[in-house]
Amino acid sequence: MNSPVQGEEPNRRLLPRVPRGVWLCVLAVCLLAQQAMLWWLYYQGGAKQLVGDEVRYWNTAHDILAGGPWHPSDVWPPAQPLFIASVLTLGGDSVLAVQIVQMLLFFGCALLVRDLWKRISGNSVAATIAAALFVLAPSNAAYAHYLWPEVTHLFLLLVALDLLLARAVGNISAVAAGVSIGLALSFKSLLTGYWPLLLLCFVRRWRPIQVNWRPAALFAVALALTTAPAVMAGHRNTGHWAIADSSVINLLLGLGVPQRNDYISLGEWHPWEDYMSNGRTPDERNAWAWRQVDEKLQSEGVATVLWQQLSKQYFRLFESKTLLLTQLPGPACAGYLGAYRETPRWAALVVRWSSHLFHALILAGFAFGVCMQRNWRRVGLWLLLALVGYQLALYLGLLAISRYVLPITAVFCGFAADALALAYTTHPNTTTSRTRLLAGALLASLLLMFAFAGPWIDGYCRT
């Protein structure tokens, strides 16, 4: 048992104990109300318009069904159009069929968040709160209605993490985890620089170091075999042994977009069109993009560009105007698309404020949860924090938009749950010392500033 560190206050339960069944009923009622609102919002007055890459995924899926190539792009990984095409083959030519499957995967994500956090924290109350935060946040649940690969990618990542962070990783679990990571890479390639860290899960002892070599090898082989078809098709498309590569154009976009919120007009700048028109091959287009990046660094200086990135990227990543809220009616000068048709004012207000509430609760809860941790000998905590740090490092340069934060939102929910669980039960892995609470308050203030201050700083629609 962990004893309180000298100078720290022992954790005390703040709320009276309530029967578990009552909490489950409350959760079920809230979840049903949320789902009813989101489904009604999507289809009342006609189905929501498809936005941005949703159109490309939908059209590519139909091209595949018509006999076209299954991996036609050198920029986007192939799995999401293949997934959509597979669902359409079984469920008919309807967005609704894709949404139903993705909603089931989203609920699976919530169950995996609970199981994963129970493995890491050992606290079933915190694990349940983590799952509830994740599944009840409207902006999270809405991703299951869209054709972007956020939910499918996250489900596969969570499956792999849950398998690898088990007490003992066997051969079958290692193979399944390797397949899951391989498929996740085929949906979104951003895990390329992170997945090698998962090999740490096969370390049996650190002093002296002992590794379970067979499961580790099976994991790596399963991952390689799963991605092999996409890698070979990527070589056919580009001449490089990679699934797809959008990093250069995303870096150009990330350095060039000036606003702290997404979907604000870029004026006369059309980076994607310029990228596609400046070269016949991927190498030629990437060479043109690298020249644009180099010119910006040379003309403005590395220090200036770095400061510009620090002053906008995390506002964009953590902004409270999530993809759900972006598609509600609102002024275009503030980045609203109006993709949801004929949305009543009262419905928009309910969705907007409930989304803001959960967004703020998850961010602030994470800040306090991470600062109040005191048992850092758990490998799972470090792997999850490494995932957060890895993505934050990527989006310092690459284009940052709010939907990219979903994978680390799942991590945030776990740390937030550790902090919130203190109101209901004692938690041996956290502490409430004044120093840690102050650190949590400072980090929470920073994250909430990123979430809510961007429109005020940039002054959208004031003119």
Tokens of 415: 């740390």
d(CA 145, CA 154): 15
Compute the CA torsion angle 127, 187, 355, 455 (nearest 10 deg): 130
Look at residue 426 in the predicted model and tell me its pLDDT.
65
pLDDT digits (tens, 9 = 90+) for 286-324: 999 999 999 999 999 999 999 999 999 999 999 999 999
Tokens of 112: 């995996």
Tokens of 82: 């293949």
For residue 127, how far is the Cα from the chain centroid?
Answer: 19
Do 356 and 320 meet the contact criterion of CB atoms below 8 Å apart?
A: yes
pLDDT digits (tens, 9 = 90+) for 214-271: 999 999 999 999 999 999 999 998 889 999 989 999 999 999 998 898 888 777 788 8
On the question of a cis peptide bond just before residue 208, with omega within 30 degrees of 0, the verdict is yes
Helix (H) or strand (E) holding 211, with range, is: strand 209-211
Does 14 have pLDDT greater than 60? no
The contacts of residue 29 (CB under 8 Å, 6+ apart) are: none
3-state helix, strand, coil in the chain (%, to 5): 70, 0, 30
Tokens of 258: 């000036």
d(CA 393, CA 197): 15
Q: Which residues pair with 430 in a beta bridge?
A: 373
Question: pLDDT tier at 4 (50, 70, 90 boundaries)?
Answer: very low
d(CA 147, CA 101): 11
Does 15 have pLDDT greater than 60? no
Q: Which of 352, 261, 264, 328 is nearest to 49 (CA)?
A: 328
pLDDT digits (tens, 9 = 90+) for 33-62: 999 999 999 998 889 999 989 999 999 999
Helix (H) or strand (E) holding 412, with range, is: helix 406-421
Q: Which of 71, 338, 342 is nearest to 186 (CA)?
A: 71
pLDDT digits (tens, 9 = 90+) for 113-153: 999 999 888 888 889 999 999 999 999 999 999 999 999 99
Task: Find the length of the chain.
Answer: 463
Compute the CA torsion angle 252, 253, 257, 261 (nearest 10 deg): -150
